[in-house]
Structures are given as structure tokens and as C-alpha cells.
Structure 1
Amino acid sequence: MYDVAIIGAGPAGLSAAIACAKRQLQVVIIDEFMKPGGRLLGQLHQEPDGTWWNGIKEANILIEQAESLGVDIRCGLSVHHIEKTEQGWHVHTSEETITVPALLLATGAAESPAPVPGWTLPGVMSIGAAQVMTNVHRVRPGKKGIVIGINVLSSAITRELQLAGIEVAGMVLPAENAVTKNASHPSQVLQSLLRISHLAPSAFIRMGSKFVKGKGMQRLALTFYPKNGVKMWGIPIHLRKAVTQINGQEKVESVTLCKVSPDGCIIKGSEETIDVDFVCIAGGLYPLAELAAVSGCPFHYLPELGGHVPVHNEQMKTPLDGLYVAGNITGIESAKVARAQGTVAGLSIVKDLVKSDNSINKELEKALENVNRIRQEAVIQFHPNIHAGREKMEQIFKEKLTIGRA
């Protein structure tokens, strides 16, 4: 019935489906969420040139194009197992089993937990959950909140919450524990913020960031960091304060903050309480790759890509025949990169299934160039050494193939 099954209806999955359907392949997309679009649905931000990136609008463009080409998009459907047989890939869903010769995993990313005492209270959520509530469901997570965790993702979503008219008391560090590690260390967090300082609305902040690139200057900057934080969009960013406790009886009522040293150590006797009715925890993202693990696909841990990543090459092929990957399952990057990777994956599938299509090589080459161009022009890099990580993965893929043939 289908030539291609795609798990994940985000930017990568939709783009891949379009590339396949344009060449008369029968495609089904499966996603457990109630509507297609993936991470695009929650995105709303202003680009450096002043234009607005509206994720819902971008998603609708892809959805309409895919549907016009006859792509079967099935939402609210869960996949619990995949396996390779002589008949092809069996995709076991909550309703039926679908068998296809080509399977693309575009499952995206998940948020890393950052445990804080009191985090089981109603009103505590991940920063991504707050984004979905606000931008997708149009429901405010609360009237006044605080964000625990300062990183690229939380900075972008905190701004989105503010645009929705929600008061954010500030962004603070999590108290140091076995899980938070670098996320609670002021110097490590400062380095990550310097990578997005060019997006700051204040020229003073943009200029000031240029003077603290060196480690010595960073140490000095943290030592004299303002006690009330540095404000961006009017939201205080506290690199010298951490949440040690979320308070409340039946729901979130307040948080306890403590000052921290430049090395991230709690300064005793510095406790203060801030009244809030919701808390967002931002622990970062990691590739959501459980289905790739179930398939038997080999993995490799690359911190440059965000964690354990299924082995693949730049054409989005894995060492397993008929299995492809695209988007954040291959490494944490922007939705624009994921969308471009999806096109590459789709064209790779066409190349393998439609042997008579002689034009595909040139199109695939252009699509690969487009991925590299978008990655090069990316306004925000979630991980600073993404290019090195991609090169390592390409080499690992070649080594796996060599071992397999031997």
C-alpha cells in the first residue's frame, strides 16, 4: 500500500514526504501528536533582519503541500515497535502494522530533565511544555513564572512567553546536583550565552559581550555580575542565583533562590523567596532515538550533536538497508536545518527505490549544499562544534560500512 513510512510529522518528516511524493512514491506519515507540524507549531520569534518566523505558518505550508501530493498524514497514532524482515520494515502502531521497503525516522528531540526539590508540584513544567501551551493551545501556563535553566532554548521560549503577555520574573540557574552539572556552573552558562549575544536587543549587551570572550574576562565579568541580573527584553538573567527549592502546598506558590559563587557553589545565608504561580525547567534537548535503538541501528555518543545519535551519513542513510534518519534525531539543530535534511532524506529514498530517475543525483547534490548553507547561516547554534560533530559522524558511518563488508 505504501512505499515509504515516515515516523514524525515535523519539518524533517514533512519535507521528506514532499520529496518522495513528488516522484510518485506512496507515503504515509505517522505522528502521535494530534496535529502535524512537530516543533514548528510552538515557534514564534523575530529574525535579526526584523522579520518574524511563525512556525505555525511554516508548518501549514508544508502540510498543504504534502496533502496536495497525496501524502497520508495520520496523527494521534503511536509507534511502539519497528523490525526488519524479508518483506521490508514492519511498523507496529497502536492500530495496525504497516510494511514498507523504506522507513524514515524523523522523531525529533526530547527535553532533558533537571530535577529541583519541589518539581512534582502542579504548576511545574518543562520549558517546551510552556511553549506548546502558549503558542499551540493558546493557554497561559500562569500569570507570573520563573525559568530555571539558562540556555539557547530557554532564552528563545522565555521571549515567546513574554510576547504572549505572561510575566516572567527572571531566568536563573538550577542548584548544582549530579544531573545539572554544567547547567548550574555560571562560567559554562556564560559561554553558551555568548554564542547568542548577537541576538540581544540591547546594543550595550552586544558590544559588552565582545569584551568577555577570554576566560580571564569571563571570570571578571562573573565576579562583578550585577546582583539584579542583566536584563534582556526586560527579563532579568541571573548567572549568580540558583533555585534551591520550589515551594507550595497543592500547587506552585513561590521559589527559594540563593546566590552562587562564580564556581556555582551556594552561598549560605543568601536565601530569598519570590512569589510565582508556575515554574519552567529548561534542561536542554537530546535526540529522541528509541525507535532507532529498537531497529538495531548502531549508535555513537557525540556531545557535539547533543548525545547518543544513530549512525548515519550526510545523505541521511543508516547502515541498515531501507532505514533513514533526519532532523533532530541526527543532532540538535534548528527547524530550518531539519527541514533541509528532510528533503535530503526524501531524495535519498527516491534514489534507492526509483532506479530509473536519472535526475536525482543532481537534485540530491543541491539539497546537500542547501543543508550546509543553512547550517552555516544559522542564527543560533545549539552546540558550538556542530560541524566537527557532523564530520565525525560521516567518518564513523564509513567505518561501520567497512566493518560490515569485512
Structure 2
Amino acid sequence: MPKVKETEILIVGGGPAGLSAASAAANLGASVLVLERDGKPGGQLIKQTHKFFGSKKQYAGDRGYQIGDLLIEQCRNNPNLEVWTDTTVLGIYEDGVVTAEGQGKHLKITPKKIIVATGASEKMIAFPNNDLPGIYGAGAVQTLMNVHGIVPGKRVLMIGAGNIGLIVSYQLMQAGVEIAAIIEAAPTIGGYLVHASKIRRAGVPILTSHTITEAYGDEGVEGAIICKLDESWQPVLGSEQDLKVDVVCLAVGLSPLTELCFQADCQMKYVPELSGHVPVRSEYLETTRPGLYVAGDVSGVEEASSAMVEGRLAGISAACSLGYGEDIAPKLQAEALAELSELRAGPAGQKTLRGIINLMDKGGVVC
């Protein structure tokens, strides 16, 4: 690796959004460098074994890891594109210099445009003994099982009935792990009912309006106390249940990883519908810092399908701003925006749209 690297477009994060952005920009002729902190690009896709929904354009019917491999192959075969793995971005500075650490070296990159596609981190919830060994985030459980082939335990309490909680529960069951229950604080299941139906057919209870009050155990999780919640989200006295489990898995949502956007002095807004603080940006995903774009969960938590389309939109927009593909970029941008509208057409997507409108109303720059 050179100590100083010049590139036209630097992409921070090699997940579904970052890889899609890289291919789109490089296909228009821009020189692109992707920095990925893990040893293999692909992000969350590499541990997703379930099949995707949607249309053929969003790889419907393919499994997450297959889509990840396809995106990696597209990048590998593009002469305009480099991917540096095991490389962590440290900062984006006023003069446009980006610093990173890779293979024990301090690196400087001077890009003309930057796309931040850092994704999101798992949320945690507070309850007594939530630091016991045996308490995991759902993403960590997926990594253990689907990347390393290790089951986290024998009997699991899943907290959260969104898509992640339901999918990971089913994957645990496929691996021979018993699911004691799935509990959800909200009065309704948040994930797709097709996922919930598979769980229920296997005899696993999904308890809505329930929460965990504590975990217990000496050197690791031995059990958990759960209880029912009333209409005011308060515990119902006498409704406690003691579940003997050796794993508590938390699937309670994600938070956008926006530290670099804060550090780069992007204008930020807290938008609950987008799961936290996100950068104000234009329709074409350029932030209030000129030349810095965002894509994927860092701009608001959604499904991987939306992240890939946002990545493509950001890549096209960044390349076009450098003069590449000016004849076809508007058409490609319009197609990506139409795809995003389709993906956000359902009930879950309406929440995202409200968040984006809220964000734009608070100062978003629209191209």
C-alpha cells in the first residue's frame, strides 16, 4: 500500500451500499478506491443465508451471501476499481485529506469525492445483568453461525420480532438450537408475516407486548425473566415468567454509524424514522459538505436492497459530478430513484419516506 494515495472517488465501507456505489462509479469511468475494515468485503451480506424478496433487479430469490459474492466479483473485474481490506478510516479533514490505518501503516488518501457507506451498529437495551456472557446481538449470532459455523448455545430467548429477530431465530432452529420464545415490546410483530408464520408453525411462541426484566446466572446466562407490558408500556405485575436459557439474543434495531459524517462537519439531524442521527443530504445523496455523499444504513436504516440501490445512486452522482457519464447519468439516476420508490411502497417503507421528508423539510438540499 502506498503511504499517500490519490483517487477520484473514495468509498468508505465495502458492504452492499459501498460495493454497489463502487461498481456504478467505476462503470462510468471514474477511478474508485474502496476501504473496508474487515478482511473480506460484503458487509452484512456475507452472513445472510436467507433469500431476498423484491424484484429481479434487487436479486430476488438469491441468498445474501450469494449477492455479496456477486458484488465482490463485479468490483474485482473492474480495472477502474481497487478494494483495500483490513483498512479502517480514521478521519475526514477540512482540506479533503482522509486518513486510514491498514496493515499497521498510517495512510493518507486525497480523493476528489467521498462516499460514506459505513452501515449501522446494533442497538442494545438496558436490563440487569445485560453484560453476562451469553448475551449477543443478532448480528453477532449470525456471524458466529453463518461465517464461523459455531452455535452460540442450546436454548435462546430472542428479543425483537422484526425481520432480523425472526430470520435469525429460524436460522438458529435450522442449526438445531431451541428457541424458548421470541418477545416483542410492541403490540404487533414488526417483521414480515411470512417469516413469523414459519416460526409459529415450528411451535415457537411469539409474545408481543412483552419485555425482558433481567437476565441471571453466575458465569454466564442461565435464565431470563420476562413480563407482559400494558398499553402504556409498563410491566404488568404478576405476569413474570422465568425462562431457562443459556443465550439472550437482542434484535432491537440498528443505529446509523455516522461518526465520520459528524467529524466531516456534515449537517446532522435526529430523525427517529431513520433510526437516529443522519446527515442532511440531497435527493442524489450529497450531504451539506460538498462532494461528500452517503448511501445505505448510514443515511437511515433500511433493508439491504435499498442500500444497494442507494449505493448505485451515490456512485452515479459522484461520478457525474466529475464529468463522467453526463449523457446517461440523469437516466440512471432517475431509474435508481424509481427503484427506491418501489422498495419504499409498502407499510415499512412509508415510515422511511416520512423520515426522509422530515429530513428534507429540516434543510435538505434537493438537486
Report the TM-score range of the alignment, normalised by the length of the smaller protein.
0.7 to 0.9
**Closer, same or farther in 2 for the Cα pair 1:326/1:243, shift >3 Å?**
same
Shift of 1:190: 2.2
Residue 174 of structure 2 corresponds to which residue in structure 1? 163
SS at match of 2:40: coil
Q: What letter is aligned with 1:58?
A: I
1:16 to 11, 14, 21: 21
TM-aligned CA deviation for residue 116 of structure 1: 1.8
Q: For residue 358 of structure 1, give the secondary structure of its aligned residue in structure 2.
A: coil
Distance 1:101 1:271 in 2: 58
Q: Distance in 1 between matches of 2:196 and 2:142?
A: 20
Counterpart contact for 1:319–1:400, Cα < 8 Å: no
TM-score, structure 1 normalization: 0.80
In the alignment, the residues of structure 2 paired with residue 296 and residue 246 of structure 1 have an alpha-carbon distance, to the nearest angstrom, of 40
SS of 1:115's equivalent?
A: coil
Residue type of the alignment partner of 2:291:
G
Counterpart residue identity of residue 31, structure 1: E
Aligned to 2:34: 29
Q: Does 1:68 align with 2:77?
A: yes
Partner residue in 2 for 1:77: 87
**Number of equivalent positions:** 353
Question: What residue in structure 1 maps to residue 99 of structure 2?
Answer: 91
Q: Which amino acid aligns with 1:385?
A: K
Instruction: Please give the secondary structure, in 1, of the residue aligned with 2:129.
Output: coil
Computing the radius of gyration from Cα coordinates, the structure with the larger value is: 1
Q: 1:348 to 1:140 in 2, by over 3 A?
A: same
**Alignment partners' CA distance in 2, 1:199 and 1:166:** 17
Matches within 5 A, 1:192-341: 193=189, 196-197=192-193, 199-201=195-197, 231=200, 233-341=202-310
Once the two structures are TM-superposed, the CA of residue 339 in structure 1 deviates from its matched residue by: 0.3
Question: Which whole-Å CA distance do the structure 1 matches of 2:331 and 2:78 have between them?
Answer: 22
CA distance 1:322–1:247, change in 2 (3 Å): same
Change in CA separation of 1:396 and 1:55 when aligned onto 2, cut-off 3 Å: same
Is this contact kept in 2: 1:256–1:274, CA < 8 A?
yes
Q: Deviations over 1:350-404 (max 9, x none)?
A: 111125742222222222222222333x6x83x6521222233334445699xxx
Q: Deviation at 1:150?
A: 3.2
Aligned-partner SS, 2:273: helix
Does the 8 Å CA contact 1:149/1:171 hold for their aligned counterparts? yes
Q: Is the 8 A contact 1:82 1:90 kept in 2?
A: yes
Q: In 1, are the aligned partners of 2:163 and 2:190 still within 8 Å (CA)?
A: no
CA distance in 1, matches of 2:190, 2:247: 28
Give 1:4's aligned amino acid: I
Cα shift at 1:76: 1.6
Separation in 2, partners of 1:164, 1:304: 34
- Relative distance call for 1:123 and 1:326 in structure 2 (3 A) is same
1:260 Cα deviation after fit: 4.2
| Partner Cα distance (1:240, 1:21) in 2 | 48
Separation (CA, whole Å) in 2 of partners of 1:351 and 1:275? 57
Q: Report what 2:3 is aligned to.
A: none
Unaligned runs of 5+ in 2: 1-5, 55-59
Contact 1:42–1:135, Cα closer than 8 Å, also in 2: yes
Correspondent of 1:126 among 123, 137, 140: 137
Partner of residue 150 from structure 2, selected from 139, 142, 152: 139
Counterparts of 1:232 and 1:384, CA distance in 2 = 29
Alignment match of 2:187 (pick from 180, 185, 190): 190
- Inter-CA distance 315–199: structure 2 relative to 1 (3 Å threshold): same
Q: What is the CA RMSD across the aligned residues, in angstroms? A: 2.5
Query: Aligned match of 2:338 in 369, 373, 390?
Result: 369
How many Å apart are 1:250 and its aligned residue? 0.9
- For 2:278 and 2:364, the matched residues in 1 are separated by 15
Tell me how far apart the structure 1 counterparts of residues 122 and 325 of structure 2 sit (CA, whole Å). 42
User: Using the alignment, how far apart are the partners of 1:28 and 1:352 within structure 2?
Assistant: 17
For residues 11-40 of structure 1, give each alpha carbon's deviation from its aligned partner in whole angstroms, at most 9, with x where no partner exists: 110011001111232211112122111111
Distance in 1 (alpha carbons) for counterparts of 2:331 and 2:112 = 24
Using a 3 Å threshold, how does the CA distance of structure 1 residues 40 and 195 change in structure 2: closer, same or farther? Answer: closer
Shift, 1:311, TM fit: 0.6
Greater helix proportion: 1
